[in-house]
Structure 1
Amino acid sequence: MTEQVSGRCFCGAIRYRFDHKPLAVRTCWCRDCQYLACGNASVGAFFRRAGLTLEGEPAAYVSQAASGNTMRRRFCARCGTHLFSEAEARPDTVVVRVGTLEDREIGGPSSIIWAASAPAWAKLDPALPVCEGQPATPPEPPPG
């Protein structure tokens, strides 16, 4: 049986579904994510694009990230919910904002990235691995 992971924007105009669990989940403190998360870190779940089913048409904003990646950030034009980030360098991967998942419990972070950009008041989980900047792409999970 295939695992289904689903989510939506705040108003429900855009819904999505993946046929697999996330490859990885990271808390990101880069400055761009702080803007998108109202000053906090964002929590993003990495999925393979191949398993995505999308209902509705998100708007997009393209920008250059501090990592050098060209990023396409997709959001609901109706309610403004930020849904996805897509790096041009990783066309097979979609990063989903965990707050948009129906089951947010599957979105517990496994690492922290861009920690050097976090404000002094940020609380970083000492139990998680920390990367000061841009880490490597999450590996594919082993088959089975």
Structure 2
Amino acid sequence: MTERTGGCLCGQVRFRLTAEPIASRVCWCKDCQRIASNGTVNLIVPTAAMEISGNLGEYTRTADSGNQVIRRFCPQCGTQLFADSTGRVGATVVRVGTLDDPSSVRPSANIWSSSAPAWACLDSALERVERQPGPPPAKAG
């Protein structure tokens, strides 16, 4: 297991991940494009394996999938850090760009690729999912 750490732009929020990711994907949904002006690269991790210090703001919205998504961010600098969904209870999305070492993970798929702009650079080596994928396979353990 590789421990990963990260935080926001101003340093007010820091976090530590103590479990391997369940999945890592590039998301091209319209909400992620609004957040990043591009696709977002995300880890899905067990919520119980996260330690967070600092105050977070949050915003809840119904996603195109129909799930309620709570996005959490630094209220000081605005960095988007985490998202929780009613469709993934017990798992949290972590924005890979907030990791101290974002190269420590590699996405396995482009999701919501049907929403990607015509100029998007979709890595052909990654699985391509047109909309919301099913849940990641359970890991043996």
TM-score (norm 2): 0.96
Percentage of pairs with the same residue = 44
1:107 Cα offset (Å): 2.6
TM-score (norm 1): 0.94
Matched residue type, 1:31: K
Match of 1:28 in 2: 27
1:88 Cα offset (Å): 1.6
**What are the Cα deviations for residues 24-79 of structure 1, in whole angstroms up to 9, with x where unaligned?**
100000000000112x1000001000111110121000000000010000000000
Number of residue pairs matched by the alignment: 141
Match of 1:81 in 2: 79
1:140 Cα offset (Å): 3.1
Structure 2 SS opposite 1:105: helix
- In the TM superposition, structure 1's runs of 4+ consecutive aligned residues that sit over 2 Å from their partners are 139-143
1:3 Cα offset (Å): 3.1
Match of 1:54 in 2: 52
1:91 Cα offset (Å): 1.9
**What are the Cα deviations for residues 86-112 of structure 1, in whole angstroms up to 9, with x where unaligned?**
102222000000000011012311111
Provide the aligned C-alpha RMSD in A: 1.1
Unpaired runs of 5+ residues, structure 2, are none
Match of 1:19 in 2: 18
